[in-house]
Amino acid sequence: MKKHIVCLGDSNTHGYCPDPSDCADGALSRFNEEERWTCLLQKQLGDAYLVVEEGLSGRTTVFDDPVEEGMAALPCLYAILKSHKPVDLLIVMLGTNDTKERLGANAYVIGKGMERLLEKARSIDCWGPGGKPNILLIAPPAIGEGLKDSDVAEEMGAGAVEKSRQVPARFQAAAEETGARFLDAGALGCTFNQVDFMHLTRASHARLAEALAKLVPELL
């Protein structure tokens, strides 16, 4: 059987692209299978691996959104992981949506939410040979300052930019607490676009996939 790699994330895993000039299918507002980091990772890893996309725009770690239903990853995590059993590696990249003002969570609480999500993942009977949890947590880049003057400024609300800058350190602590591996996408040089300042550029999708293609075999 192929090695199953489940990629749990938000719109940056789903591949949302708000800049038509940066993606081949601009009218669809989504990077295609030649552009998304998950698909690029699949190609670079080869046929011995199966990269599963579990990206949902707006997804949070554990926080229920009062405006959009079903956004928290925690309640659906059991079904996601069991449906892809055996899971050899879970890659989690969340946190950007957790900074929304309406969710009322500061960076510390966002970090605790991620810790709770990782602990839940560890407890689920879904893991490959030996049943040992294997999780890689990726902190997304910080939201750009330009968001405050963008069309999504009100959607994210006050404080999102500032909180997002504190998230990587909180997530690194969550990874250490739960035995997960940690990767900071911002430190890799991944950046957000200049339209909404919170979604990866096409070049950053490629950069992330390249880094993961080198790292993932070392984790399995």
Distance from C-alpha of 82 to C-alpha of 96, rounded to nearest angstrom? 25
Among 170, 211, 214, 176, residue whose Cα is nearest residue 200: 211
Count of CB atoms situated within 10 Å of the CB of 8: 25
68: left (phi over 0), alpha (psi -120 to 50) or beta: beta
Q: What is the pLDDT of residue 129?
A: 83
Specify the DSSP class assigned to residue 143: P
Q: Are 160 and 100 in contact (CB under 8 A)?
A: yes
**Domains of the chain, earliest start first:** 3-219 (3.40.50.1110)
pLDDT tens over the chain, length 220 residues: 999 999 999 999 999 999 999 999 889 999 999 999 999 999 999 999 999 999 999 999 999 999 999 999 999 999 999 999 999 999 999 999 999 999 999 999 999 999 999 999 999 999 998 899 999 999 999 999 999 999 999 999 999 999 999 999 999 999 999 999 999 999 999 999 999 999 999 999 999 999 999 999 999 9
Beta-bridge partner residues of 136: 91, 181
Q: Are 141 and 157 in contact (CB under 8 A)?
A: no
Residue located via tokens 């959009």: 68
Distance from C-alpha of 172 to C-alpha of 26, rounded to nearest angstrom? 34
Give, in order, the Cα–Cα distances in Å from 20 to each of 32, 56, 140, 195. 12, 20, 22, 10
Q: What is the pLDDT of residue 140?
A: 97
